[in-house]
Amino acid sequence: MGKEREKLVRELTDLPGIGPATAEKLKAEGYESLEKIATASPHELAEIGDISVDNAKKAIEAAKKSTEAGYETADVVFERRKEIGRITTGSEELNELLGGGVETQSVTEFFGRFGSGKSQVAFQLAVNVQLPKDKGGLEGKALFIDSEATFRPERIIQIAKGAGLDPDTVLKNMFVARALNSDHQMLLIEKADELVKKENIRLIVVDSLTSQFRADYVGRGALSERQQKLNRHIHVLQRLADNNNLAVFITNQVMDNPAILFGDPTTPIGGHILGHFSTYRVYVRKGKEEKRIARLIDSPNLPEGECIFKVTPEGIRD
């Protein structure tokens, strides 16, 4: 049994019902390890590998038996958390609200109406991640998924100059992809692993996470499928954050909730799946002139709070 288990750990093709051709199909979709097979859904695995659901279930069961349970002691978790880095937002007030900046190994979500400053914070972080560590950066590069055609290199140049960086270098250190629909957006993230490792990517921005899903899945009948795909998408993002000690920053749209009669009726898109998943959740709204009000509404270790920051020609400032 020990030798058999050793063999299982080595190769996907040792799983029941998985031949070389099926293994290649699974690897092409990001299922290159036994851990990923063990945590897959049978229907998804069957569809990708072009095998029966029954065979997919057998493969998943065998993968589960051949992998470790995944427990570790809390002191190991604590040691790993010591490696967490933080990216400055450009505003000391906003940094303080977030516990020192946007942190690695986490998903930080900013949601708000159009023009509230979400994309401006995303642009600023994509520049600031390139700063030296003593200036609030991570000396790394940024991966930027643009789902709303709002990415503007001209604005990046302005912010780079404001941060005292060479605009040409900053642009070369940003990898930008335009997501054409929700499936394309998911594929861009699922295929990002190699680029992340090769190029020292320390920040992934998705601006915005939900707009393509909202467009592709219209009506209540499509809600269940939309939420399932969104769930898978954000799990891949979290895995990239954990495995590569990078920060994930997502922006999100809002809708008006008619059930709220008093106060602000805006509610973020994505429902409970996104609400429970984002490590830090910030609602941002427009104030007078350049001012923006940010409210931290969810965090595992920080109190709720508010701060004011400015969107200036040079970038995000107090």
Q: Is residue 73 part of a domain?
A: no
pLDDT at 40: 82
Q: What is the mean pLDDT of the chain?
A: 87
Q: Is residue 187 part of a domain?
A: yes
Are 70 and 80 contacting, i.e. CB atoms less than 8 angstroms apart?
no
Q: Strand runs (DSSP E) across the chain, as ranges?
A: 86-87, 102-103, 107-111, 141-146, 174-178, 201-207, 247-252, 254-256, 266-268, 280-286, 291-298, 305-312, 315-317
pLDDT tops 70 at residue 274? no
What share of the chain has pLDDT > 70, as a percent? 89
More confident site: 223 or 129: 129
Question: According to the per-residue pLDDT averaged within each range, which of 23-32, 125-134, 208-217 is highest?
Answer: 125-134
Range of the domain at 308: 79-317
Q: Is residue 74 part of a domain?
A: no
pLDDT tops 80 at residue 12? yes
pLDDT at 255: 64
Q: Quickly state the pLDDT bin for 159 (edges 50, 70, 90).
A: very high
pLDDT tops 60 at residue 261? no
Residues 83 and 59 in one domain: no
Residues 192 and 155 in one domain: yes
pLDDT tops 90 at residue 123? yes
- Bond into 106 cis (ω within 30): no
Q: Quickly state the pLDDT bin for 273 (edges 50, 70, 90).
A: low
Looking at 42, 66, 90, the residue that finishes a domain is 66
User: Which tokens in the block code for residue 277?
Assistant: 């998943």
- CA terminus-to-terminus distance, the chain: 62
pLDDT at 25: 87
Radius of gyration of the chain (CA): 21
Please return the burial class of 35, using the count of CB atoms within 10 Å of its CB with bins 0-12, 13-18 and 19+: middle
Residues 60 and 125 in one domain: no
Of the candidates 127, 124, 85, the residue with the CA atom closest to the CA atom of residue 106: 85
User: Which tokens in the block code for residue 247?
Assistant: 């920060």
Which secondary-structure segment (H or E) carries 224?
helix 223-244
pLDDT at 260: 46
Residues 166 and 311 in one domain: yes
Residues 21 and 121 in one domain: no
pLDDT tops 60 at residue 265? no
| Residues 178, 74: Cα–Cα separation, whole Å | 40
| Residues 154, 217: Cα–Cα separation, whole Å | 33
Q: Structure pTM?
A: 0.78
Domain count, the chain: 2
Q: Is residue 71 part of a domain?
A: no
CATH number at residue 13: 1.10.150.20
SS3 227: helix
Q: Is residue 83 part of a domain?
A: yes
pLDDT tops 60 at residue 2? no
CATH number at residue 87: 3.40.50.300
Predicted confidence (pLDDT) per residue in 41-98, tens digit: 888 889 889 999 999 999 998 888 877 666 778 998 888 888 999 999 999 999 999 9
What share of the chain has pLDDT > 90, as a percent? 55
Residue carrying the six token digits 């699922």: 190
Residues 83 and 155 in one domain: yes
pLDDT tops 50 at residue 8? no
pLDDT at 270: 57
Q: Quickly state the pLDDT bin for 184 (edges 50, 70, 90).
A: very high
